[in-house]
Structure formats: structure tokens, C-alpha cells
Amino acid sequence: MCGDLEEDAGDSKLEEMLYARFVAHARALLAHAPAPQEAPADNAGYMEKLFVDALSRAVKDCEQAEAEHRYERMIAQPVVFARLAGFLAAHMSLGEDPLRRVMEALMLGYSEAEAQDRENMDRENMDRAQRDYDHGDVAVRS
């Protein structure tokens, strides 16, 4: 039906926007990542390198897909990484509280994306506040 085509077009546009947001956030995180070390000396460095490597691979895999399949590829990745997290966590001592650690890491990922959105909005608001707008013959600041 006609309504179905319009809904599909709206879904497609939303998917494109969500994919573009993912790529922008990923590139920003990767740009601010510490310089890669071949073999980090400490566990925190190792974990950061593993995160950067996995994120780089995720972006690369999406970009290698055909344009109409990039969103599908992106939304499959958290399922795969969650499965991997569950598999690895199943081998941890229960004293390590694996579920809590995995959930905290999941929530950290959410907060990183939200923080980037807030930073982008703050930057846009600052840019807007610093631009002059011409209203007739009087230039005013917004």
C-alpha cells in the first residue's frame, strides 16, 4: 500500500541517521584514543587497546558492506559482542561478579554515546551564539 512505502522511506531515513550517528561517534572516540601500543604494560591499557581494536573493526566491517546493508550490519554487532561478553564472563569466578561488570561496561558505552551527543549540542549552541544574523538592516546576535 502507499502508506507502507512512506513508512519504509521514513524507516530508511531513520536508519541512515542512526548509522551516521554511530560512525560519527566511533570516529570521534577513535580520534581521541591514546596512541596504540603493541603490547600495553597494564590491564587498563590492554582493555583500552582491545576496545579500540574492536570498535575500529566494527566500523570497518560496516563501511565495507553495501550502503543499503550498513545499518543491518551495525545492529548485528552488539548481539555478537554481547554473546562474546557472555561467553567470556561465563569463565570468570562468580566472586568477580561477572554480570555486574558486564552490565556496568554496557552502561558505560551508552553514556559515552550520550556524552558525545551533549558535547555536539553544546558545540552547536556555542557556534550559533557566536554567529551574527542579519535581520533587515540591523545585525543581531542570537
User: Average model confidence (pLDDT) for the chain?
Assistant: 84
Task: Look at residue 16 in the predicted model and tell me its pLDDT.
Answer: 95
* Three-state SS sequence of 23-76: HHHHHHHHHCCCCCCCCCCCHHHHHHHHHHHHHHHHHHHHHHCCHHHHHHHHHH
Confidence of residue 5 (pLDDT cuts 50, 70, 90): very low
| Amino acid letter, residue 40 | P
Tally of structural domains, the chain: 1
Mean pLDDT of 68-90: 95
Which domain covers residue 7, as residue numbers? 2-141
pLDDT in tens, 20-66: 999 999 999 999 888 777 777 889 889 999 999 999 999 999 999 99
Q: What percent of the chain has pLDDT over 90?
A: 58
Prediction pTM value: 0.75
Query: How many residues belong to the chain?
Result: 142
Helices 70-89 and 2-31, packing angle to 10 deg: 60
